[in-house]
Structure 1
């Protein structure tokens, strides 16, 4: 496929989604990918060192550096709800030497902030790298054993069920609000200071249910929580008998966290393609898969166009939901 055809397909895909993240045309004078990289490459990570996002960024940086003989240096720029690093990336030269680890937060922030110092079309998607689902779990004393039974119970007891989250504008809250919206049920949101306290609250019966992170799997395995479904597109290897929300009857439901790699808009197409191909190889390596599984992350490989379309669909999904909730970050 020619560069022109690839860019045209890319723009048409995003136009259908209503939100364009465009790969801008680049001058012929731009550096060719054949010699890329010819100097160290900076990978911006918008959170502090430690945790899955930082670990995944460093893992990919390590493997890219080993493959190409140039350092890929991770630079942590935490703060501002991931806005600070994202702004730096958007304003960096479009030459392939500044990259950004992007997360699901990117698709929520435009609707949580009144104004951002960058646009959603300021980036050239390289590839999604991982996804980490959430798990819909209830207190074992709640008389439901499936998602359908939970929805039926909620409809029979409107406003009586409570669901927890790790904060008012957290992905855990939005997972619950998305279920309310898609299933047409009414539940009361109760925010906590993190996934841990919320998980304990569900297990103790302080609240009825919540979408918990995979770190809470021990609570499920020892019976303190009853898992009803997982929020990813596919079942998880760690809980192979647990159905997805879509399999459980909530068509189109998907939530959780994901990480991908992007570059500033205008980065040469051949550089994007070279990065995409090498990262695909990295994510298929058994050692890398094992290291990702240790943090409950599933490798995901996509073309730049597929990743762009996915970002666009996520932007639209959260725009609709967050707009209805009228939530703003102060």
Structure 2
């Protein structure tokens, strides 16, 4: 065997051995570099505009809360943060969009945990899982729904509405902010509590639901603080709030329990989630930024004017709240037979 041939065999063997060693070391190298790469992602974040998707039309209280927070985040970062309304199907269209987005912190979803939970139970063929497809970021605020009637209806109390519902030959109609929304849940709970059938007329958000009530197209509505202007003008009358206690801004409006309807309460809360797999450092950065925004007097005043109480939480606490609501409302949807087909 020539010396040249032996040299070639030796070099070939060395190369093979080197490839084997590199293959064995590669997973360890990736483990060592991944955390630092993710830390760099958080350090650089945000380097371009951030989108907050809202699954309801513009004009509702959830949409307005998102815009208040987006404005504050924009000022904190000097980076554009904008609201992208993607309404429909009880907010599931917007949720599906965010669940499929890149998990980099640049696409966020504003949710109401109750609505998020109800829709996950009502729609059997969703492309996402209400818990597993998202990373919780922060709860922003809490607020009420109102039971509203047109001022020309002649109904002045919750008891009068209940008596009309029980006496009517046909189910009286109500407007909700959409199938699977928190207002839908409240009305179905109300129907069960008073022992009277109600006709559900869903709308794509609070603003169109309120307009339907103003136009006399429905007998009553379950809507949020976006109806406040019409309440103050006297065109709409609030019979009750859905929160467990009265609101500081509306001390004269009783709770459902005070108005004689027991066992029905709902607190509208809103918060941010991101696609599952978003780096923890990015989530912490968003959480800290939103918390700073909510501590500022301007943001607090704007939220309180909507009937919201700023209530920031840790990502872990918000995740626990969402999981609790998913469990609670899934049971209700099954018992009430509210599951829908997409």
Q: TM-score, normalised by structure 2?
A: 0.69
**Residue in structure 2 matched with residue 8 of structure 1 by the alignment:** none
**Equivalent-residue separation in structure 2 for 1:62 and 1:221 (angstroms):** 27
**Residue in structure 2 matched with residue 32 of structure 1 by the alignment:** 39
Q: Is 1:78 matched with 2:80?
A: no
Taking the TM superposition and a 5 Å limit, the aligned residue runs for 1:136-151 are: 136-137=147-148, 145=157
For the structure 1 residues 320 and 124, does the alpha-carbon distance in structure 2 shift closer, same or farther, using more than 3 Å as the test?
A: same
From 93, 118, 124, the counterpart of 1:108: 118
**Residue in structure 1 matched with residue 72 of structure 2 by the alignment:** 63
More helix as a share of residues = 2
**Equivalent-residue separation in structure 1 for 2:257 and 2:92 (angstroms):** 32
**Equivalent-residue separation in structure 2 for 1:196 and 1:233 (angstroms):** 23
**Equivalent-residue separation in structure 2 for 1:84 and 1:190 (angstroms):** 21
From 315, 325, 331, the counterpart of 1:314: 325
**Equivalent-residue separation in structure 1 for 2:288 and 2:68 (angstroms):** 16
Q: Is 1:96 matched with 2:105?
A: yes
**Equivalent-residue separation in structure 2 for 1:281 and 1:232 (angstroms):** 26
**Residue in structure 2 matched with residue 242 of structure 1 by the alignment:** 253
SS in 2 for 1:319: helix
**Equivalent-residue separation in structure 1 for 2:35 and 2:339 (angstroms):** 44
Taking the TM superposition and a 5 Å limit, the aligned residue runs for 1:278-317 are: 278-317=289-328
Aligned length: 297
1:263-282 Cα distance to aligned partner (Å, 9 max, x none): 22233334323322321221
**Residue in structure 2 matched with residue 87 of structure 1 by the alignment:** 96
1:45 CA drift (Å):
1.1
Q: TM-score, normalised by structure 1?
A: 0.71
For the structure 1 residues 101 and 72, does the alpha-carbon distance in structure 2 shift closer, same or farther, using more than 3 Å as the test?
A: farther
1:115 CA drift (Å):
1.0
1:307 CA drift (Å):
1.4
Could you list the runs of 5+ residues in structure 1 that have no partner in the other structure?
1-26
For the structure 1 residues 303 and 241, does the alpha-carbon distance in structure 2 shift closer, same or farther, using more than 3 Å as the test?
A: farther
1:223-276 Cα distance to aligned partner (Å, 9 max, x none): 665533211344333312323335556566333644211122233334323322
For the structure 1 residues 268 and 242, does the alpha-carbon distance in structure 2 shift closer, same or farther, using more than 3 Å as the test?
A: same
Taking the TM superposition and a 5 Å limit, the aligned residue runs for 1:248-263 are: 253-255=264-266, 257-263=268-274
1:85 CA drift (Å):
3.6
**Residue in structure 1 matched with residue 3 of structure 2 by the alignment:** none
For the structure 1 residues 170 and 238, does the alpha-carbon distance in structure 2 shift closer, same or farther, using more than 3 Å as the test?
A: farther
Q: Decide whether the 8 Å contact of 1:133 with 1:232 is kept in 2.
A: yes
SS in 1 for 2:239: strand
**Residue in structure 1 matched with residue 284 of structure 2 by the alignment:** 273
SS in 1 for 2:35: coil
Q: Which has the larger radius of gyration?
A: 2
**Equivalent-residue separation in structure 2 for 1:217 and 1:49 (angstroms):** 17
Q: Decide whether the 8 Å contact of 1:40 with 1:73 is kept in 2.
A: no
The two structures, once aligned, show a CA RMSD in angstroms of 3.7
**Equivalent-residue separation in structure 2 for 1:223 and 1:101 (angstroms):** 31
For the structure 1 residues 28 and 159, does the alpha-carbon distance in structure 2 shift closer, same or farther, using more than 3 Å as the test?
A: farther
